[in-house]
Amino acid sequence: MTARIYISGFVQNVGYRQFVKGIARQVGLTGWAKNLFDGRVEVLLSGDQEIIEKTIKKFWEGPFLAEVKSIDVDWVKEENLDGFEILH
């Protein structure tokens, strides 16, 4: 399964993408994270659906200084991804 996730709040310039990358690598998910121009962070996670759902719950914590206001998830057609990247 693959989930496209949009995280809003105070999530840019606080290490949020690195936080997401660390969690994804710990649990064996692939994908990427990037900042959006509107202040949100977009994340694509691919792997086991149950693991993705548990991982998304951890995204509410965020790194120190981050303040997550909302998380929106869209399940999309699976993509073949290798590793986890931070996109710019």
Q: Which domain holds residue 62?
A: 2-87
In this predicted model, what pLDDT tens digit does every residue of 27-38 receive, in sequence order? 999 999 999 999
- Find the length of the chain: 88
Provide the annotated active-site residues.
17, 35
- Taking CA atoms, 8 is separated from 37, 65, 82, in Å, by 12, 14, 26
**pTM for this entry:** 0.94
In this predicted model, what pLDDT tens digit does every residue of 57-88 receive, in sequence order? 999 999 999 999 999 999 998 777 889 999 98
30 Cβ contact list (under 8 Å, min separation 6): 24, 45, 46, 47, 81, 82, 83, 84
- CATH number of the CATH domain containing 54: 3.30.70.100
pLDDT > 90: percent of the chain: 92
| Residue 45 banded pLDDT, cuts 50, 70, 90 | very high
Tally the domains of the chain.
Answer: 1
